[in-house]
Chain A
Amino acid sequence: MSRFQVVSGKGGTGKTTVAAALALALAAEGRRTLLVEVEGRQGIAQLFGSDALPYEERKIAVAPGGGEVYALAIDAERALLDYLQMFYKLGSAGRALKKLGAIDFATTIAPGVRDVLLTGKACEAVRRKDKQGRFVYDHVIMDAPPTGRITRFLNVNDEVAGLAKIGPIHNQAQAVMRVLKSPQTAVHLVTLLEEMPVQETADGIAELRAAQLPVGSVFVNMVRPHLLDEDALRTAAGGRRKEIAKTLTRAGVTGSAALVRPLVAQAAEHAERVGLEREQRAVLAGLGLPTAELPLMGDGVDLAALHDLATELRKQGAGEEGDA
C-alpha cells in the first residue's frame, strides 16, 4: 500500500474531509499517520475543531486500536528558512533575506520553488526513519491543491528543472520526483456524482497519467441515499395521488391532501438526480480505477462523522490500490 497518499479534487468536493478520514482509516491498529496541508487554509484544524496548526507535527486524533494521526500545516516560507538553516547555517541572515523580499521571491514568485518546498517537506516525512530504522509514519496523507493544479503542483521536476538546472533546489526536485513517481505514492481524486466534478476528475486523471504520476483511487464523496427507484416515482407522478393522500392520512399525517403535490415534486427531482448520478457513475466506472463511496453527512462533518467516514473507508479497503 502506498505510503504517500495525495488527495486532490475539484473545489467543494470535500478533499480535506476525505484526506482526514483517510488518515484516520490508515491509522487504525496502532499505526501512525501524518496528515499534511499545503495551502495555508487551516482546513485540518477547522475539521478537527482544534486551534490553528503551527509549523510542527502534532497529534490531532487517535484511531481505533491505538493508532495516531499527526497533523502538519506546511508553510513554504518556514520550510525554506529551515532548509537554508540546515544546509547553510544562515541564522539571522535568513531574516535579512526575508527583509529584502528574497524569501518572498523564492516562495511565491519563483515558479515551482514553492511547490518543491511543500512536496519536499512531505516527502521528507515519508522517508523519515527513527533510530531503529523504522519509518516514523506508516502513511503520509496530503490534503493537496485542487484537481486543476495538482499535476503542475506534483510535477515539480518539469517546473524547476528548466530553471534551476543545478544546485540544491534542483537536487531536491529530483529527489522529490523519485518519491512521487514511485509506487510509494498514490494520487487520489475526490469527486461528487455531478457532471462538472466528474469531468474534471477524468481530465485530471489523464493529466496525471500523462505526467507519469501514479493515480490511486477515486473517492465519490457526499453520496446521498437512493430512497425510491425511478419506476416507483413514475408511478407516483401518475394517477395515484389520491391513494397517496389516503395512505399519508392512514400513517398519521394530518392535512395530507396539500402535501401530496410537493412530496411528489420532490420525488421527481430525486428521480432526476438519481438518473444523472447513474450517468456519472458510468463515466467514473469507465475510468478503470478503484472507487470508494462516502455517504453525505447530513449534519455536517465533525469529529464523530470523520470517524464514521474512516470506518466506511476501512470497510471499502480504500487506499490499498493504485494503478502505478
Chain B
Amino acid sequence: MSADTAAGGGPEAVTGAGLDTDDVTGAGLDTDALLDDPGIRIIVCCGSGGVGKTTTAAALGVRAAERGRKVVVLTIDPARRLAQSIGIDRLDNVPRRIDGIKGEGELHAMMLDMKRTFDETVEAHADAERAKAILENPFYQSLSAGFAGTQEYMAMEKLGQLRARDAWDLIIVDTPPSRSALDFLDAPKRLGSFLDGKFIRLLMAPAKVGGRAGMKFLNVGMSMMSGTLGKLLGGQFLRDVQTFVAAMDTMFGGFRSRADATYKLLQAPGTAFLVVATPEQDALREAAYFVERLAAEDMPLAGLVLNRVHGSEASRLSAEQALAAAENLDDARIVDQRAGKAGLGDRVAPDPAVTASGTTEPLLSPEAGQASGPQTSAEHQDTTENEPPHENIAHAATAPEGDTVDAADATETSDAIDVISIEELTAGLLRLHAERMQVVARESRTRDRFTVLHPEVPVTAVEALPGDVHDLDGLRAIGDRLAGGCTPTPAGAA
C-alpha cells in the first residue's frame, strides 16, 4: 500500500499489478476535475448498502472544500464514528459548518431527519390549524416515520430545499440505505403518485370521481374496495387516511410538483452521479443496474467509485510461487527444529476444550503442531488462528482434528523462542502475500465482469484501508485515493 500502486488514477493502477488486465478498458475518473467544475452543483453518491457511500460523500466534501468550494454534505444516517470524523457528535437536520477545513473553502454537513423534514414541509405549506391536524393524524405519524420510501422522498425534498437556497457551490448527497440502490429513484415517485393518485382521490371523494363520464365502473370497484380495505385494515385506519388526505389536499400539488422538479434537477447538466461499489459480485451487480437505470432516466453518470480495492507491489510473485517458496522454508525449518528442540514437535494437545482459552490473542505456535506434518502446517495455522479468543459457541467443535495446540504448551513454546526464526518469518510473509494475491485476482475478475458490461464508465479505485476512518485526516486520505494522487498514509487513521 504505497504511492506507486495505490489505486486511484485508473483501473490499471491496482489491477495492473502483474495481472493480465488487457481486457479492462474502463477509463479513469478524474475526481478533482469533477470537484473543481463550477458547473457541477450536485453530486449524488449511490450504491448498495455497506459499500462506503457515506464515507465517500464525506471524503469528497472535505476534498472539494479544501479545493476552495463551498460545500454541503447531506448524509443519511451516518455511522456515529463518521459523524465524529467530521468533528460533530451528532449531525442534525440543519447544515452545520465543519471546523478544521484548510483554505478558503467551507464544508457544511447535515444529517437527514426524515420526520423533521416531513413536519417542516407540512408546516411550511399549510396554515397553522391545518398543519396541526396533519401532524397529529396517526396515519401521518406512521407515514412520516415508517414508510420505507419516506426517507428517499424526504432526501429528495431536502435536496430540493438546499439547492433552492443557493447558498452552496456544491451539494454532495449520500443516498439512503435502501433495499436496492434503485429505491432512491423509485420511492419518491411512488409516494408522489400515491399522494396524487386515483386511489387517494377515491378515498377522499368517491362520489366526485365516480360521477365523471367513463369512470362509472370505478364506483363498483370503489365501494368494494372501501369495504375490503375497511375489513382488512379496520375502519379506523381508513378514516385516519381519509382525514389525513383531506388535510393534505392543498399540499398534494406542491408535493408532486416539487418531487418532479427535484427529479428534473437530477437530470440537469449540473448534477453528477457517482455509483459507489466494492469489488464484490453483489455490489457490482447493483452498480451495473444503477448505471443502466441512470442511462434510461437520462441522469448524468460521472463514474464508478470502487472502494476497498486491494493491490500488491510485489505482484510479480504469484500466489502459487509464494506458497511453494513458503513450503520450501517449512521443510527447512522442520529439519532445524527437530535438531534443535527434540520432542517439541510431538507435543500435541490431548484436550481440545482448553484451546486458546485464557489467551488474549490468537496463537501463533506452528512448532507445537508440527508433528502433523509440514505439508498441512498452513491449514493448521489457519484453523488454529481462526479460533476466536473469546468464548465460542462450539469451542470444542472448531478445534482441528487431533492437532490442537494446548494453551500451556503454547505459552512454554513462546517463552522458549524469543525471536521467531527467519524461516518462519519469511514463510509467513510469503503466505500473507499469497492470500493478498488471491484477493487481488478475485477482485480483478469481479471487476472485469463489470467493465465488460460497461466499458464506458470511468472508474476510480480506492485502495482498502486496514481500519475505519475516524477524523478529517482519514477522510483526506480517502480523498487522495479518490483523486488518484495517493500519498502513502499511515495505515488506518485509528
Q: Contact residues of A with B, CB < 8 Å?
A: 10-13, 16, 39-41, 43, 46, 84, 88, 90, 93, 96-97, 99-102, 104-106, 108-114, 145-146, 148, 152, 159, 162-170, 194-197, 199-200, 217, 220, 223-232, 235-236, 240, 243-244, 247-248, 250-253, 255, 259, 261-270, 272-274, 276, 278, 281-282, 284-285, 290-293, 295, 298-300, 315-318, 320-321
Contacts and interface: CB of A to CB of B under 8 A. Distances in A.
Interface of B: prevailing SS: helix
Contacts of B250: none
Contacts of B328: 250-252
A30 to B, nearest CB: 21
Nearest to B439: A298
A263 B106 CA distance: 41
Contacts of A11: 48-51, 177
A39 B178 CA distance: 10
A248 B221 contact: no
A97 B280 CA distance: 41
A315 B232 contact: no
B492 A276 contact: yes
B397 interface: yes
A146 B49 CA distance: 9
B385 A226 contact: yes
Nearest to A258: B314
Contacts of B163: none
Contacts of B312: 262, 266
Given A112-B146, A236-B425, A247-B329, A267 B432 contact: yes
Contacts of B235: 166-167
A253 B48 contact: no
B407 interface: no
Max chain A C-beta neighbours (<10 A), residue from B48, B51, B146, B423: B146
B432 A227 contact: yes
A316 B393 contact: yes
Nearest to A99: B221
A190 to B, nearest CB: 11
22 contacts: A39-B180, A41-B179, A90-B228, A101-B197, A109-B190, A112-B142, A152-B146, A166-B234, A167-B233, A225-B385, A227-B381, A231-B420, A232-B364, A252-B325, A263-B429, A266-B314, A267-B432, A276-B492, A285-B388, A292-B394, A300-B442, A321-B393
B341 interface: no
Contact of A299 (B200, B428, B438): B438
B109 to A, nearest CB: 18
A240 B425 contact: yes
Contacts of B431: 227-228
A162 B439 CA distance: 50
B424 interface: yes
A195 B362 contact: no
Nearest to B325: A251
Given A194-B468, A225-B385, A252-B324, A268 B491 contact: yes
Contacts of A278: 361-362, 389
Contacts of A317: 393-394, 397
B148 A108 contact: yes
Contacts of B139: 163
A197 B49 CA distance: 11
Given A166-B234, A266-B433, A235 B419 contact: yes
B131 to A, nearest CB: 20
Nearest to B446: A300
B185 to A, nearest CB: 15
Contact of A199 (B80, B142, B283): B80
Given A170-B233, A253-B325, 8 more contacts: A97-B221, A104-B194, A104-B199, A108-B190, A225-B381, A262-B314, A270-B432, A295-B386
B214 interface: no
A39 B419 contact: no
A232 B420 CA distance: 6
B332 interface: yes
B307 to A, nearest CB: 10
B398 interface: yes
A242 B301 CA distance: 50
Contacts of A255: 316
B180 A41 contact: yes
B491 A269 contact: yes
Contacts of B119: none
A244 B237 contact: no
B372 interface: no
B202 interface: yes
A101 B438 CA distance: 50
Contact of A265 (B2, B79, B424, B492): B2
A250 B494 CA distance: 38
Contacts of A152: 146
Given A226-B364, A272-B466, A300-B281, A100 B198 contact: yes
A65 B83 CA distance: 50
B282 interface: yes
Nearest to B314: A262
A199 B468 CA distance: 12
Contacts of A146: 49, 177
Contact of A247 (B141, B142, B361, B426): B426
B467 interface: yes
B439 to A, nearest CB: 7
The 9 closest A-B pairs by CB, nearest first: A11-B49, A12-B50, A285-B390, A11-B50, A111-B146, A262-B313, A228-B428, A101-B199, A290-B393
A255 B79 CA distance: 45
A251 B425 CA distance: 12
Contact of A165 (B237, B385, B427): B237
A80 B214 CA distance: 29
A106 B280 CA distance: 35
Nearest to A318: B393
Interface in B206-255: 218, 221-222, 224-225, 228-237, 240-241
Contact of B81 (A16, A199, A263): A199
Max chain B C-beta neighbours (<10 A), residue from A109, A232, A266, A320: A109
Contacts of B141: 162
Max chain B C-beta neighbours (<10 A), residue from A106, A253, A267, A317: A253
A228 B433 CA distance: 11
B77 interface: yes
Contacts of A235: 419-420, 425
Max chain A C-beta neighbours (<10 A), residue from B285, B390, B391, B398: B390
